[in-house]
Amino acid sequence: YILPRLVGDFTRAHPEATVALRIGDTDKIIEETLEGRIEFGIVGAKSKDKRIAQEKVIEDEMRLIVPAAHPWAGQKSIPFNRLTSEPFISRERGSGTLKSIQICLSRRAASMEALTIVAEMGSTEAVCQGIKNGVGISILSTLAVAEELQAGTLTALSLEGIDLTRAFYLTTHKSRSPSPLCKAFLVFIRREPPRPGPVSG
């Protein structure tokens, strides 16, 4: 949701370049960066691995996402304790989204364990489809569901007293020198950092 626009802008500025974009959860992207299969990643959680260098490139707001027909759809916010009886869709272990949610909740002495988790899904797209099809509700990046929010098929709510802001991190291997093309792309990202678009709901 962040990189495709940047890739498009970059390839227009560098028409000779070919960029391969890989999608994966945070743990997978960091693993592939360490193994040299990719030159850099943008991930949604900090790594404790000392071989990894990270810098924040964007802040993003996660919110509680419900279908438009949900009883809460007309509300701006709800308290966390109202979530406990609702079917909830979780991201898989290793997901930066899941790690970010756990961190945000722990700051307010709340926990994922209090939720009624009915499904664990391996991608944001799968979670989004699960919400649309009545499997449950979830907490997602507003960037990931911006089109659905603007179309009115999904609604975003805040959780009272819980800050769901998170960061995305440019992630590289400390000991590997980037290729000239990678170096040019990193310079481009730092000069033109991705920005979240307007979100309704």
State the pLDDT at residue 32. Answer: 95
Quick one: what percent of the chain has pLDDT higher than 70?
95
pLDDT at 178 over 50: yes
State the pLDDT at residue 118. Answer: 96
Burial class of 145 by CB neighbour count within 10 A (0 to 12, 13 to 18, 19+): buried
Rg, C-alpha atoms of the chain = 18
Q: Closest by alpha carbon to 162, among 102, 86, 95? A: 102
pLDDT at 200 over 50: no
132 pLDDT tier (thresholds 50, 70, 90) = very high
The pLDDT mean for the chain works out to 89
Determine the average pLDDT of the residues in 90-100.
86
pLDDT at 74 over 80: yes
Quick one: what percent of the chain has pLDDT higher than 90?
52
For the ranges 40-44, 71-75, 91-95, the lowest mean pLDDT is seen at 91-95
pTM above 0.85, yes or no: no
State the pLDDT at residue 98. Answer: 87
Q: Which amino acid is at 111?
A: S
Helix axes 3-13, 180-191, angle to 10 degrees: 120
Determine the average pLDDT of the residues in 187-200.
64
Predicted confidence (pLDDT) per residue in 17-28, tens digit? 888 888 888 889
